A and B are shown apart, each in its own frame.
Chain A
Amino acid sequence: MAPVLVFARLTVQESSRRRLLLALVILTLLVVGFSAWGFNKITTVTRSDGTVLPHDQVSLITSQLLIVITFMYSGVLALSAAVVAGPLISSEVESGLLLSMLARPVRRSEVVIGKWLGLAILVTIYAAGSALLELTAVNWATGYEPPHPVELVLYVAAEGLALLSLGLVLSTRLSGITGGVIALVAWLMAWIAGVVGDIGTGLQNSALQNVGTISHLLLPTDGLWRGAVYAMEPDVILAALRAAGTAGRANPFSAVDPPPTAFLAWVVVWFGLMLTLSIWSFRTREI
């Protein structure tokens, strides 16, 4: 097996043997179970005249609740990716674990790419698996399904991968705790900057709008989150948001348009830059 794949396999194996995967699966099943019960309750809620909510209204409420629940999932994914990626290289350098392996015919770029790949596989599997379970549960409970489920999974997974890539860059130079904390703070700041950009759009203030745009370029997590939100919005919600004009855009849990193609192209470039930076940083590090 090529060294890249060996390091990818080791990363997956470590998460599995350290029971990180088991913990995530159990927690996800609990959340899915509770949310299915909650969503089912919506269908049995009665109005003051004793009648149950009509199907359209149930779908509307479900779509909005699903966005909030997905935000929690994306948060768990981002947190996990940052916390796991932060020490991915630094802790193994500090403990000496990498020393004997780096004395083998292994390029440092293979270590970096292999570890990124291993964690990327886990992030993608978690995003796809949890989405499948949650959407199945929601569909069972309310009959609702979001308009673009595949895009939803892709955007949520890409958000996790972005945090993973940032954590990995930091991990080549900083200690695990420092790298993890910086990645998390950056994720939150990018989210807040996205809200600031929304307010700028609402107020038609270009300076505030630029804050949002620049943050999307530096760390595209919020931009990707908006893509996930758009994938979950039914037409009726989109129509209402568009009718509200610029004010309809000033909300981190809404998106009037899908992410522009130029932004998606930038995301691909951004991933390339992060991996290149990680490889350069680790290659020039003295161990």
Chain B
Amino acid sequence: MGVAAAAPAIHTVDLTKRFGSTVALAGLSMTVPRGEIFGFLGPNGAGKTTSVKLLLGLLKPTSGEAWLLGEPIGDLGTRRRIGYLPELFRYQGWLDAREVLALHCELAPLPRSTWKEEIAAALDTVGLTDRADDRVSTFSKGMQQRLGLAAALVGKPELVFLDEPTSALDPVGRHDVREIIRGLSDRGTAVFLNSHLLSEVEQVCDRVAVVDHGRVIASGTMDELLSGTAVKVRVSGLDDSARTRLAAFGPLDDEGEHLTFTKLDIERVPELVSTIVALGGRVYEVSPRHQTLEDRFLQLLHEDDK
């Protein structure tokens, strides 16, 4: 227990998953310490959900090893200490919310004497207390996702996997989920947050890993990842060939009138402006700023595609 207690929440070494000839995950190696909020970012199909399913034992790795809370993945006892909100969330429509949570208390398994308190606390955390006795079939998608989050929270898990936890939520719901995640971290629970909502990750995560084509292409704390400068330019009069030539200034997010150079040294801004003018463009606005996670994300994917 001593070793396990000191062990990181998640540790993987070269975790690989192939489906036939398709490589879904190519050698994932990472460590998530206890109590940390870890963002796992990537475009659709990058291998995020596959990673979560491998860690939870729903899929078997082709090669590599991984440990959760110090125990090898697939260990049944470890699952008592883990919560999971799947990306594809669905709960028994013929049960009411309280019954669904009681079912998860029973499977966890928690002592029956604690169920009432656990269920009430989980319902209160996700804001479903008023609907506790309503059938899940009457719930909206967003409410079902809240219920899924509540199910992931029962039993005070040491590690929680949240796979796109706000995909069905409105802005208020997203804000609530961020607060819940921060609350989990405060009480020492590690959170593995799978998401492609970059602003969400940026606001809550201590560290992130960016995954693409089944590989981690960057990882680190927010400060480490977002150390560069991005430059946004409002411009007109540039044709496609001129825009292509601007690739010399690094990865470019082209949104028509607005061009964002997602990583550009501030010292190169005068050169950029003179080049645009030389290419026949008219510059209306130049705004350098710190890189956002979106800038960095696009830059990384751009570099990975090269």
Contact = CB atoms under 8 A, between A and B. Distances in A.
Interface string B69-98: 000000011011010111011111011000
A105 interface: yes
B88 to A, nearest CB: 3
A1 B206 CA distance: 39
A56 interface: no
Contacts of B76: 105-107
B84 A103 contact: yes
Contact of B86 (A6, A99, A104): A99
B58 A102 contact: yes
Interface stretch (B105-113, B178-186, B231-239, B274-282): B105-113
Nearest to B19: A286
B58 A105 contact: no
B84 A99 contact: yes
A31 interface: no
A103 B90 contact: no
B124 to A, nearest CB: 20
B151 A100 contact: yes
A104 B94 contact: no
Given A105-B79, A287-B53, A100 B92 contact: no
B152 A100 contact: yes
B9 to A, nearest CB: 15
B89 to A, nearest CB: 6
B84 A100 contact: yes
Interface in B213-261: none
Interface string B49-72: 000010011111000000000000
Interface string A78-116: 000000000000000001110111111111000000000
A17 B94 contact: yes
A252 interface: no
B6 interface: no
B88 A103 contact: no
B58 A13 contact: no
Contacts of A1: 106
Nearest to A284: B60
B22 to A, nearest CB: 13
A104 B89 contact: no
Contacts of A6: 103, 106-107
Interface in B93-136: 94-95, 103-104, 106-109
Given A103-B82, A287-B59, A95 B90 contact: yes
Interface string B20-56: 0000000000000000000000000000000001001
B107 A105 contact: yes
A103 B79 contact: yes
A103 B77 CA distance: 11
Q: Across chains A and B, which 6 residue pairs bring their CB atoms closest together, nearest first? A: A96-B88, A104-B107, A17-B94, A103-B84, A99-B86, A105-B79
11 contacts: A6-B106, A17-B94, A97-B90, A97-B92, A100-B86, A102-B58, A103-B79, A104-B104, A105-B107, A106-B107, A286-B59
Interface of B: 53, 56-60, 76-77, 79-80, 82, 84-86, 88-92, 94-95, 103-104, 106-109, 148, 151-152, 161
Given A101-B103, A103-B79, 5 more contacts: A6-B106, A10-B103, A100-B86, A101-B107, A106-B76
